[in-house]
C-alpha cells in the first residue's frame, strides 16, 4: 500500500515538474525570442531599462525550470523501473531551487509590491504572473507535499542559502562597476537598495541571507518524510 501511495505521489510530482518546465520554457521563449506560446502574456525583454535576466526572480525561476526537468526525467525512469530511486544530489538541487523561488515569492509580496510603481498588481502582470506567483507556489506545494524525503540532511541547508549568497555577490559587483561610470541608477540598483540611502543596503544584505536561511529551515522541515 505504501509503495502504491508513493508511486501516486511521484506521478503527481512528475506532472507538476513537467508543467514547471513548460512554463519556464515559455518565459525563456518570450523573453529572448519574443515568441508567445501561452496567449495573454506579453514578452518582455527589458524591465525599466534592466535586462530581464539580471533579476533574481528570473534566475531563480529558470533554475527551478531546469531542475524540475531533471527531476521529472529521473522520476520517469523510476516509475518505469529503469532506476531505483532519485539520487540525493538531485533532491538537494531541487531543495535549493525551491528555496530560491520561495524567496522570490516572499520578497515580491513583502517588499517589492510596496516600492515599485503600480504595486503588487504590476508585479503580477504579463510574464510576472508566472515569475512571481505561479511557478513559486506550485514549486513549493510540489516539494513539501509530493516530494517528501529523508535524503536532505540538515547539513544541506547551506545549499538553500547559496543561490542568494551568489546573487548578492553578483548584484554588489555589478553595482560597484557600473556606478563608477554612471552613478547609482535604477538600471544598476534595480531593487532600490542604494538609492534609498546607505543604511538600507547594509541592512538588506545580511537580512536577505537570514530570511533565506529561515525559508530553507522551514521548507526542509516541511519536506521531511515522517518515515525513516
pTM score, whole prediction: 0.88
CA distance 222 to 145: 8
CA distance 87 to 67: 13
CB 98 within 8 A of CB 64: yes
Q: Is the dihedral of CA 15, 21, 23, 29 positive or negative?
A: negative
- SS3 call for 224: strand
Query: In the prediction, which pLDDT does 137 show?
Result: 97
Q: Is the sign of the CA dihedral 85, 158, 115, 49 positive or negative? A: negative
Q: What is the pLDDT of residue 46?
A: 53
Q: What is the pLDDT of residue 225?
A: 78
pLDDT at 35: 52
Rounded to 5 degrees, φ, ψ at 101 are: -70, -25
pLDDT of residue 34: 58
User: Rg of the chain over CA atoms, in angstroms?
Assistant: 19
Over the chain (228 residues), the average pLDDT of each successive run of 10 is 76 97 82 53 54 86 95 96 94 98 93 80 81 94 96 95 95 83 78 69 86 97 79
Amino acid at each position: 500500500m505504501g509503495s502504491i501511495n508513493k508511486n501516486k505521489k511521484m506521478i503527481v510530482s512528475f506532472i507538476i515538474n513537467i508543467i514547471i518546465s513548460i512554463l519556464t520554457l515559455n518565459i525563456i521563449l518570450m523573453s529572448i525570442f519574443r515568441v508567445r506560446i501561452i496567449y495573454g502574456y506579453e514578452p518582455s525583454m527589458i524591465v525599466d531599462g534592466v535586462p530581464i535576466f539580471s533579476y533574481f526572480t528570473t534566475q531563480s525561476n529558470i533554475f527551478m525550470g531546469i531542475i524540475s526537468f531533471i527531476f521529472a526525467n529521473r522520476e520517469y525512469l523510476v516509475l518505469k523501473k529503469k532506476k531505483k530511486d532519485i539520487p540525493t544530489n538531485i533532491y538537494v538541487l531541487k531543495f535549493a531551487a525551491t528555496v530560491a523561488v520561495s524567496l522570490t515569492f516572499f520578497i515580491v509580496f513583502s517588499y517589492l509590491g510596496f516600492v515599485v510603481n503600480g504595486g503588487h498588481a504590476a508585479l503580477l502582470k504579463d510574464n510576472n504572473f508566472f515569475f512571481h506567483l505561479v511557478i513559486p507556489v506550485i514549486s513549493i506545494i510540489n516539494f513539501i507535499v509530493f516530494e517528501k524525503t529523508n535524503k536532505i540532511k540538515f547539513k544541506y541547508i547551506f545549499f538553500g542559502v547559496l543561490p542568494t549568497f551568489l546573487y548578492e555577490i553578483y548584484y554588489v559587483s555589478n553595482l560597484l562597476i557600473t556606478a563608477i561610470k554612471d552613478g547609482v541608477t535604477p538600471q544598476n540598483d534595480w531593487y532600490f537598495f542604494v538609492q534609498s540611502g546607505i543604511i538600507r543596503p547594509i541592512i538588506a544584505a545580511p537580512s536577505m541571507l537570514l530570511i533565506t536561511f529561515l525559508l530553507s529551515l522551514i521548507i526542509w522541515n516541511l519536506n521531511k518524510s515522517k518515515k525513516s
